[in-house]
Amino acid sequence: MSQIKPVPVCEYDGSSMFSWNGTCPESPDGTRVCYTRIERPGESESVPHAAELWICDKRVSDGTTTFGNHRRVFNLTFHAEGYKHNGSMASWVDERTVVFRHDAADGTAAEVGREFISVIDVETGKVLHGPIAGDLGHYACRGKIPFSVHEHDLSFNAAYRAITTAGIYELEFRTGAIRLVISTDDIVRFIASQNATPTERSRDIMHVMYNPSATRVMVRIDAQEYETIVSTDLHGGDPVLTPKKPLHQLWYDDDTYMAVDRHDSGNIFRYARSGEKLELLAGPGNHIAASPDRSLYVTDNLYHRTPVVVKVYEKGSLEPVYVLDQNPNDAPIWKLRAHANPVFSRDGRGVYFVRAGESSRVEAVFAAIG
C-alpha cells in the first residue's frame, strides 16, 4: 500500500470544494478544472454567504501536474449551516460551458434557500440558460442534464412553459429546451404498485443521474419501509425499483449500479437494477467513484470516523492499493458537511477530493496515482 501526498488545486486562504462524488471537475478534454471558493462556512441556513465559481488550467509536464491561470467566472450565494453540501454541483458540458447550482436567483433575501440551475460560458461569462428553480442532477452527459422540480419550485419557473408539474426534467444545452421525463405523481404511483408505501417524503426526488449513454435516469426515492432507487427510460417508461437501496449509488454501466453494501459487509459491489449483487468491486467505502475503465475505485471511510481516510482499491481487492489522506481533523468533513466526494480524473491517473485543512477550512486537492 502506497501513501500519496495530494496537492491543492488553488492557493487560497479560504476554502475550496469540488462537486458530487463521481462528477469529474475536469473539462471533457482534461485541460481545465472547475471548483468553488467559499470564504468561510455558513452560520445558518437563513443567513446568505458568498461563494465563487472558479476555473483553472491543468498542466502535466514530466509527470508532474500543476494548476494555473485561475479565474473567477460567477459569483454565487449559498445558504447553509456549515458548507453547502456538494458545493455548486458544477459539471462541464463541453470545453467552455459549465452547469451549476446556486441559491437566490437575484441574490435577494426574498428567495432565501431556493436553489437554481444556471449554465455559463466560462470564456465570456454569459449565462446561457437559467436560472431554473430545481435540484441539479449529478452530471451533464451527451449535451444535456437531468434535474428535479418540486412543488415549491413551480412558482419560480413561470418563464419556462415546459415546467408544469413536479417531476424529473432534462435540459438540452444547445437549444435550452426543457422536457418532462416523468412526473412525481407517476413515480409515487409506481412505488406504491411495488408494495412500498409512499409518504410525503417520497415526493422529494434526490440524486438524479443519467446512465453513461443518457438513455435512462436513476433517482433516490424514500418509501415508508426503506429508501429505494427508481430508474426509468427518458419517457418515464420501463420503471424499475430497487428496494432497500445500497449507499451512494452510481451507474456502473448502462444497466447496472455500483454502490456500498450498507446492510451487510460495507464493501463496494456492482448491483443489478433489481438490487441483486452481481460482483464485488472493492473493500469498505462511503462516497465512491470508479476510474473510467472500472479497474480502480476510490472512496472515503464511513461517516463520523476519525481519521478521515481517502483510499483507492484495485478491482476485486478488499485492501487499498493507495492511501491518499488520513486526516484527524474530521469536523469540517462530517459536522460541517464538506464531504470528501472523491472522483477520478478523465484519464484515470489521478484523484480529486476535498480534504480538511486547519480549523474549519477545507481545500480541493489532487493526487496523482499513475
Cβ neighbours for 152, distance < 8 A, ≥ 6 positions apart: none
Rounded CA separation 144/129 (Å): 12
Cβ neighbours for 291, distance < 8 A, ≥ 6 positions apart: 297, 298, 344, 348
Query: The CATH number of the domain where 40 resides is what?
Result: 2.120.10.30
Residue 108: the pLDDT is 47
Task: Give the DSSP letter of residue 45.
Answer: T
Q: Spell 136-160 as b/e; 16+ CB within 10 A means b.
A: bbbbbbeebbbbbbbeebbebbeeb
Residue 28: the pLDDT is 98
Rounded CA separation 173/143 (Å): 6
Unique residue bearing C-alpha cell 461569462: 125
Residue 77: the pLDDT is 86
Q: What's the domain range around 226?
A: 2-368
| CA 366 centroid distance within chain | 17
Residue 112: the pLDDT is 58
Alpha-carbon distance values, 120 to 38, 58, 220 (Å): 19, 20, 28
Q: Cell numbers for 248, please give them.
A: 451512494
Phi/psi region, residue 114 (left: phi>0; alpha: psi -120 to 50; beta: rest), is beta
Cβ neighbours for 327, distance < 8 A, ≥ 6 positions apart: 307, 308, 309, 333, 355, 356
Cβ neighbours for 110, distance < 8 A, ≥ 6 positions apart: 104
Residue of 5, 55, 22 lying closest to 340 (CA atoms): 22
Q: Cell numbers for 233, please give them.
A: 427510460
Per-residue pLDDT of the chain (370 residues; tens, 9 = 90+): 788 899 999 999 999 999 999 999 999 999 999 999 999 888 877 777 889 999 999 999 988 999 999 999 999 988 888 999 899 999 999 999 999 999 865 544 445 567 999 999 999 999 999 999 999 999 999 999 999 999 999 999 999 999 999 999 999 999 999 999 999 999 999 999 999 999 999 999 999 999 999 999 999 999 999 999 999 999 999 999 999 999 999 999 999 999 999 999 999 999 999 999 999 999 999 999 999 999 999 999 999 999 999 999 999 999 999 999 999 999 999 999 999 999 999 999 999 999 999 999 999 999 999 7
Alpha-carbon distance values, 331 to 147, 245, 306, 327 (Å): 31, 27, 9, 10
Q: Is 57 exposed, middle or buried (0-12, 13-18, 19+ CB in 10 A)?
A: middle
Split into its structural domains, the chain has a count of 1
Rounded CA separation 1/23 (Å): 26
* Helix %, strand %, coil % of the chain (to 5): 5, 45, 45
Cβ neighbours for 218, distance < 8 A, ≥ 6 positions apart: 207, 208, 209, 211, 229, 230, 231, 249, 251, 257
Rounded CA separation 41/25 (Å): 21
